């Protein structure tokens, strides 16, 4: 059993920064792919970014490229979503997800390829 625990959401003003955390416990994987998705009210879930745990390759949606990054901390078995220069359009519930193996690039953005999900954390960007 794998548990993903998220934290770090909140209400911020446009232009601010926020860092979400996702801590992985339980079974550990070799070479997983970790990702972040988000879902705004009335919209479908969308891919935000992903990272290959081994090697560190990262991939981002065009809407967040240059503003968001996905650092990780091996010692804490955790990864993060560092969000800078936040915009009102970034308002959503954010979910972390993990796949227990490497994903090809063309599959990264599809939620059905991930095995485990966090509970979600609300991020609101409002002045």
Mean pLDDT by 10 residues, the chain (127 residues): 93 98 84 93 96 88 98 92 98 96 89 95 96
pLDDT of residue 56: 80
pLDDT of residue 1: 82
The two tokens of residue 7 are: 């934290």
Count of other CB atoms within 10 angstroms of residue 117: 17
Tally of CB atoms within 10 A around 122: 11
Close Cβ partners of 89 (under 8 Å, ≥ 6 residues apart): 40, 63, 125
| Contacting residues for 66 by C-beta, under 8 A, at least 6 apart | none
E-strand spans in 30-71? 33-39, 46-52, 58-60, 68-69
Give dist(CA 113, CA 35) in Å, integer.
11
Which pLDDT score, from 0 to 100, does residue 101 have? 85
- pLDDT recorded at residue 36: 98
**What is residue 58's predicted lDDT score, i.e. its pLDDT?**
94
């Amino acid at each position: 059993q794998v548990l993903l625990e998220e934290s770090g959401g909140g209400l911020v003003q446009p232009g601010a920064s926020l860092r979400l955390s996702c801590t992985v416990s339980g079974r550990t994987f070799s070479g997983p792919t970790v990702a972040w998705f988000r879902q705004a009210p009335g919209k479908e879930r969308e891919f935000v970014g992903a990272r290959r745990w081994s090697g560190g390759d990262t991939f981002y949606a065009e809407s967040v490229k240059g503003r968001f990054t996905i650092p990780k901390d091996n010692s804490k078995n955790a990864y993060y979503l560092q969000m800078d220069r936040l915009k009102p359009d970034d308002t959503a519930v954010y979910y972390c997800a993990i796949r227990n193996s490497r994903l090809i690039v063309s599959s990264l953005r599809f939620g059905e390829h991930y095995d485990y999900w966090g509970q979600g954390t609300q991020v609101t960007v409002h002045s």
